[in-house]
Structure 1
Amino acid sequence: MYQVKYSPCLAAEESFVSLLKERAAYQSSKTAYTFLSSGKTEESSLTYQQLDRKARELGAILYGLGLKGERALLMYNPGLDFVVAFFACLYAGVIAVPVYPPKRNQSFHRLQAIIKDCDAKEILTTSNILSNLQQGLIDRHELHSLKFLATDNLPIQFSQTYNLPEIGITQKDLAFLQYTSGSTGNPKGVMVTHQNLLVNCEEMNRVFNHQPNSVMVTWLPTFHDMGLIYGVLEPLYKGITCYMMAPVSFIQSPFRWLQAISHYKGTHSAAPNFAYDLCTRKITSEQKASLDLSSWKMTLNGAEPIRYDVLERFTQEFASCGFNPTAMSPGYGLAEATLVVSAVHKEDTAEFYRVQAEALQRNKVVKAEQNDDSAVTLVGCGKTEIDTQIVIVNPDTLTSCKKDEIGEIWVSGKTVAQGYWQKEAETAKTFQAKLASGEGPFLRTGDLGFLKDGELFVTGRLKDVLIIRGRNHYPQDIEMTVEQCHPALRPGYGAAFTVETDGKERLVIVQEVERTYLRKINIKEVQEAIRKAVTKDHGLQVHDIVLIRTATIPKTSSGKIQRSRCKEQFLRNTSDDLFVVKSSKVQLS
């Protein structure tokens, strides 16, 4: 049995540097991280002692290069090289900036914008990524001072030259910059401190009840907040073992995720809503028969709108594998609040609330009658822990909403990050909001919802709400209607937005087609199915429909649909369209 000498995160001198040191001292031989190649073969592992040693060695190099206090981009393919580099940055006092390496022939615009915004001095990566990076960035004269370091092939003189002094990292120090995904605008660097991380990890620990023998299984990308903080940092915070695989391993075969949980007796994991949907659609009966999910105690569902039908199907489909419905933990969070704001406790069952669809359009919350076929079932995202406070605010009057009103979700507490890097005006607007009464400051999330008996229900995003003929419509509801109306349409890969024509807001649908239907789709049949379904469920006429090839809809780096970019492409006639059903004066090339 491992004896852990460590106090809760609220100790003033605590940081993730001191946590790793304690893990290396008191749990030295315990496996910290194991990477599964193709989601099933153990490719590499690190004990806490090995991680500490490798992080110190690389940290000494970074410190010797004069990078203390500077920003360094961490650009790695999935694997343990990233984990070592991240903790090396913490040891050396370098502000890490996790990003995903662009693929060959992929645009470098977002990467260049991040480098310029944070004034990065170094890119930490691997040898096989380095040449592509240098070629893609070489023509940018404003990046002439940027340097590259392949951490998997370090010159021998580095380790012989540099020593790592005790820097004295505190809770107030920045740990890393989490660049937002850009679903509603240009990426911004969220400043996350050690205190933000420690408080958020402690909150998750209380809600999800990690034990010394817990086992994490994750495929989430480490450049994204949920993959980094819950998938990588939470295991170290609690001193448990983590099995990691590449996101593409899951996407190619969702079975690999559940197979790893079954094989390694995984107790905790996390994924966006689409992942649970993918499991129900892609995992066969034969594969289910080989799974034992009885060890799975908690799985976080977050990072995108959570759908009641997906949760119900998943729990029903995998009940025969031993999956316990109480393991499903819907949650809500955002990078600006480090990660989790609220989540359903491990011991509790998710709350569902059926409300009148017509009332939602008026920003009202009215419980639906049992025989109301048009009712919408919302999923509760739990409550908060520690000092996090949630208030529901009218975004126009800046006053607290009544219990039956939908408003913007505002958050305060130690989990709220410090603001956006070098963006004072945007930081003040988003992180320092105050109610009309003067109470504050609060973080304005831009998300809409309401509280019911302390439980948070999220209904949509403020900027994405569609106002048609004076009524509010949530695009995700329309998108769900569309994807379910015909088997040729790919679930989770559609966008609903409005365009103004003749002084009126009109509805446009952009939707991917399933790959198996590309050669046999009946355009008129799909057109009719979409129009009938949207009219029946939402009382709306569809102005235009754009059907696009598989895997071409604009998405953020974390997988969220970029509705604003879809709209821009539509208006610029640059959408990558496969078929176009024209119904108005708006024309696509």
Structure 2
Amino acid sequence: MSHPPQEVRQSSPFDKDAEQLLEIVRRTVAELRPDTADRLRVELDSSLEHDLGVDSLVRVELWSRIEREFGVRLPQQLFASANTPADVLKVLRRGDPGGRVERTERAIVAPSAEGELQVPERAGTLIEVLEWHARQHPGHIHVRLLGEDEATEDISYEALYRGAREVAGGLLEGGLRAGQSVALMLPTGRDFLLGFFGILLAGGVPVPIYPPMRLTQIEEHLQRQAGVLCNAGARVLITVTEAKLLARLLQPRVPGLERIASVAELSRDPGPDLPAVRRPEDIAFLQYTSGSTGQPKGVMVSHANLLANLRAMGAALRVDSRDVFVSWLPMYHDMGLIGAWLGSLYYGFNLVLMSPLAFLARPKSWLWTLHRFQGTLSAAPNFAYELCLNKLSDSDLEGLDLSHWRLAFNGAEPVNPDTLKRFAERFAPCGLAPGALAPVYGLAEATLGVAFPPPGRGPLVDRVQRDAFQTRGEAVPARDDDPATLRFVSCGRPLPWHQVRIVDGNGVELPERREGHLQFSGPSTTSGYFHAPEETRRVLRDGWMDSLDLAYMAGGEVYLTGRVKDLIIRAGRNIYPYDVEAAVGRLPGLRKGCIAAFGSRDAASGTDRLVVMAECAVRDRDSQRSLRQEINRIVVELTGIPPDDIVLAPPRSVLKTSSGKIRRAACRDLYERGEVGRPHLAPWRQLLRLSLQALRGYLGRAWRSLGGWCYALYAALLFWPFASLTWLAVVLCPSQRGCRAITRQAARTFLRLAGIPLGVEGRDRLSARGASVLAVNHASYLDGVVLCAVLPSHFAFVAKRELAGQWFAGLFLRRLGARFVERFDLERSVADSDALGEALRAGQSLVFFPEGTFTREPGLRPFRMGAFVLAANTGVPLLPVAIRGTREILRDGQWFPHRGAVQVHVCDPLQAGGRDWSAAIRLRDEARAALLAQLQEAERVLG
């Protein structure tokens, strides 16, 4: 029997000095970022600056605490040279070659107790993650498989590693080489887990595919899976013994498929050695897309993509090893494979794994399994929540306790706001927390997750004016009493270290509350599709992946509105199939979840014909006529336009993917071939009217797009002459007061000519006598222009010293009396801070951007401490200043301005109430709260 490799001990022992030092660092950093304190990990090799955000002023406080609590005086040069806690620890232990560590009476600090399993933060591949846990926590229960009789089969990390090695031995014996694909057509269970990691340990690439659900679908299933296997180049297919004969039907259509075997047949003693460990950039597995908009494509998910996504999701959701995930999701689906299983593998929480069939046969089993194992996490598509609402009686809920369920993810298909509301109300008596329901957004091209809501926040539903949205793509908030509205559910905010943007058809980024194509980027973004370079180039450009989804953003939240290919443009209006399907699906006599709405292109009218296909078991003509009338009425009420054709189809006519999504493109093809029903031809008068309406809609969109380009060109032509003339006038002006007056008048004139309304609230607070510190949020390059237009002449900007050396910007800022501070030379940075303190004491008011920089992503970034330490030390008041609207006009990374208005709010002055570090921390928190109260953007907890 093989054993996991022995743990390699670090050369530096983790003794009491190290524990005490790390605790001091952790407490100091936690004061800066209290929102991350519960998941903050400080290690000896953590970078003080890049990993922990320790700038020069924080370093001063940290040094003071280390010296006080260790009872030492550290060498002066260590202040600037130490990059990690390990550098400080080395000096504490052995002294510094350039100086002596002086010790006095030692202070005692008790080390913090760890109440959870550690995670493999340095792992670069999935293989390293499993090996790390097999060394550190070999007996820890990783997966609990729930059988038909509800008995559990527990799988520890060691058992998973040992069994996977045996599968790897069989694959290597069969001649599998590194990088070759191996398909997994297995149901949820032990064999899938062992087979997946066995392929990885053998150096192969797993390709999960789904087994056939019904024999009546065997022909279509084999056709689709043959295409997947050919594209993946699979050499081996691992399946259950009972399916081997069926699987052999695939071999004539898949030339490269050499072997079909079960996990039991593959299990061999692997011997002491396995192939070299895969690299982070290597493909971890191929995730084939569901095919809801066409043929499935193999997304290349690398080890680096996967671990980046797991770490980002874990940070956003604050998961740890004390969580319990209950899942019935199939393992061939990314939400079940990555979100449930591989997430539990990485973070060390228990995964209770049910069969998907167990849930479909008895939906209550899902909720009672959450009750039995005190599950804290679970995920499902919207239909599963609907199933629980419709199939569970009150007697099924007697004694049910869902109070431990802290996050109920709803994703993988459109989220119905009514479902969320009804589910929360129905299961509140069972202890379900109001904020537990969490609509999320993700897709295979992003590995899995893209946007998640804050834990415990609960669903956020946006009501918008229907006409404005369908005709202009503008998500205008609707009044509560407005009946003509659409509702969209927020999927949350982009994951940490990832970005989302909304662009138009030309790739130009749109402002908030404008619908367009959702694009994303970040370390989880995959490199594209396997053996499909043309498809990859179509969706991946300059690091941005086009999701092919339609969405808008509001307040930093992502609101999905539909699929690009599914969108129906009818008479100049945008019609979203899911809205039609959900509304029609409530009619009695139709099969719920088996309605497809799609557009069928009509060459004569140049517009989409709206077709509704609904599965119906009713046969008599009178009942069908009544159903058609009701469908027509509902669609007209919802969209203002009657459907061109209503097809009442027999059961199982509406095509779906393996995950239950409606395959609208396939349904459209079926319809256009005449294999479902005959299209209802509209009279020529209606076609003419629709053609004119469609033409008017297209021209309106083109006119708005042209208007946007014209405004951007006008703003650019306006800005550069203004900037050049202002710079020249400032350089030639002999007095600083005159320079500031010129700049203020130029900024006001530019904003007025650019059509940017500027409103200011609390301007009188800027004219108070005496020095003060301004802490301003930073969102755009336009912020500087706005402040120049608003601030009185006695305020001076604080800027990074790199700008002082620039000929154009540096000369301009110096003439305005800007103060420069060093960011990289620590000793000079402290000296600059002292100089700023002297300026404040002399009566000079200073303007800070405490975020230090800005990004295109909405949200308030973490604050640097400089402004708050200075205000506390000098005792001057601090005024938070909130600027709204500049990010929407001009985002970072683009030079395409949009029309918009700017609002500046000068908050009430704040006093530190002390001169120590704690007073500066309190002042920072109060200023941050004041800014968040005025901004329409949410706080960005992770920078």
- TM-score, with structure 2 as normaliser: 0.58
Distance in 2, matches of 1:387 and 1:232, equals 23
Structure 2 gap segments, 5+ residues each: 1-113, 684-943
Match of 1:419 in 2: 528
1:441-467 deviation line (CA, Å, top 9, x unaligned):
200111111111111111111111101
Give 1:435-450 correspondences, 5 Å limit. 440-450=542-552
How many Å apart are 1:3 and its aligned residue? 6.6
Give 1:100-139 correspondences, 5 Å limit. 100-102=210-212, 103-104=214-215, 106-107=218-219, 108-134=222-248, 136-139=249-252
SS of the aligned residue for 1:560 comes to: coil
Q: 1:145 to 1:284 in 2, by over 3 A?
A: closer
The answer as to 2:295 corresponding to 1:186 is yes
1:60/1:164 contact within 8 Å kept: no
Distance in 1, matches of 2:669 and 2:269, equals 53
Match of 1:496 in 2: 597
Alpha-carbon RMSD across the aligned residues, in angstroms, is 2.1
Q: 1:558 to 1:161 in 2, by over 3 A?
A: closer
How many Å apart are 1:213 and its aligned residue? 1.9
SS of the aligned residue for 1:493 comes to: strand
Percent identical? 34
Match of 2:562 in 1: 460
1:512-557 deviation line (CA, Å, top 9, x unaligned):
23x7x67999212211111111112211112222223344420011
1:126/1:152 contact within 8 Å kept: no
Match of 1:523 in 2: 624
The answer as to 2:136 corresponding to 1:26 is yes
Distance in 1, matches of 2:544 and 2:529, equals 14
Give 1:559-574 correspondences, 5 Å limit. 559-574=660-675
How many Å apart are 1:325 and its aligned residue? 2.0
1:63/1:164 contact within 8 Å kept: no
2:312/2:497 contact within 8 Å kept: no
- TM-score, with structure 1 as normaliser: 0.91
Q: 1:298 to 1:584 in 2, by over 3 A?
A: same
The answer as to 2:600 corresponding to 1:487 is no
1:403-434 deviation line (CA, Å, top 9, x unaligned):
23111011010010121111222212212x2x
2:234/2:256 contact within 8 Å kept: no
Q: 1:186 to 1:457 in 2, by over 3 A?
A: same
The answer as to 2:264 corresponding to 1:152 is yes
Q: 1:545 aligns with which of 625, 642, 646?
A: 646
1:4-63 deviation line (CA, Å, top 9, x unaligned):
45442xx3x52211111122222222221122234x612533111111110111112223
Q: 2:255 aligns with which of 143, 157, 166?
A: 143
How many Å apart are 1:145 and its aligned residue? 4.5
The answer as to 2:613 corresponding to 1:505 is no
Match of 1:289 in 2: 398
Distance in 1, matches of 2:601 and 2:555, equals 39
How many Å apart are 1:490 and its aligned residue? 2.6
Structure 1 gap segments, 5+ residues each: 434-439
1:403/1:450 contact within 8 Å kept: yes
Query: AA paired with 2:260?
Result: F
Query: AA paired with 1:343?
Result: F
SS of the aligned residue for 1:464 comes to: coil
Q: 1:176 to 1:294 in 2, by over 3 A?
A: same
Distance in 1, matches of 2:408 and 2:319, equals 12
Q: Higher helix share goes to which structure?
A: 2
Query: AA paired with 2:225?
Result: L
1:108-160 deviation line (CA, Å, top 9, x unaligned):
111110111111111011211212111x22443x5264211211244xxx625
2:439/2:459 contact within 8 Å kept: yes
Distance in 2, matches of 1:26 and 1:144, equals 40
Match of 1:14 in 2: 124
How many Å apart are 1:184 and its aligned residue? 1.1
Distance in 1, matches of 2:242 and 2:386, equals 34
SS of the aligned residue for 2:277 comes to: coil
Distance in 2, matches of 1:528 and 1:255, equals 36
Q: 1:3 to 1:584 in 2, by over 3 A?
A: closer
Q: 2:442 aligns with which of 333, 337, 357?
A: 333
Distance in 1, matches of 2:405 and 2:260, equals 41
The answer as to 2:571 corresponding to 1:469 is yes
Match of 2:181 in 1: 71
Match of 1:437 in 2: none
Match of 1:376 in 2: 486
Query: AA paired with 1:117?
Result: N
Distance in 2, matches of 1:204 and 1:26, equals 23
How many Å apart are 1:78 and its aligned residue? 2.1
SS of the aligned residue for 1:201 comes to: helix
Query: AA paired with 1:384?
Result: P
Query: AA paired with 2:429?
Result: S
1:363-387 deviation line (CA, Å, top 9, x unaligned):
1110001111121121111112332
How many Å apart are 1:296 and its aligned residue? 0.4
1:336-386 deviation line (CA, Å, top 9, x unaligned):
000000011213222211101111112111000111112112111111233
2:230/2:256 contact within 8 Å kept: no
SS of the aligned residue for 2:634 comes to: helix
Q: 1:534 aligns with which of 611, 619, 635?
A: 635
Q: Higher strand share goes to which structure?
A: 1
1:219/1:250 contact within 8 Å kept: yes
Query: AA paired with 1:538?
Result: T
How many Å apart are 1:173 and its aligned residue? 1.6
Distance in 2, matches of 1:186 and 1:581, equals 25
1:215/1:266 contact within 8 Å kept: yes
Query: AA paired with 1:467?
Result: I
1:3/1:27 contact within 8 Å kept: no
Distance in 1, matches of 2:169 and 2:273, equals 4
Deviating runs (4+, > 6 A) in structure 1? Answer: 517-521
SS of the aligned residue for 1:349 comes to: coil
1:59/1:164 contact within 8 Å kept: no
Match of 2:365 in 1: 256
Query: AA paired with 1:512?
Result: E
2:169/2:269 contact within 8 Å kept: no
Q: 1:253 to 1:423 in 2, by over 3 A?
A: same
Query: AA paired with 2:322?
Result: N
The answer as to 2:444 corresponding to 1:301 is no
1:330/1:381 contact within 8 Å kept: yes
The answer as to 2:378 corresponding to 1:269 is yes
Match of 1:436 in 2: none
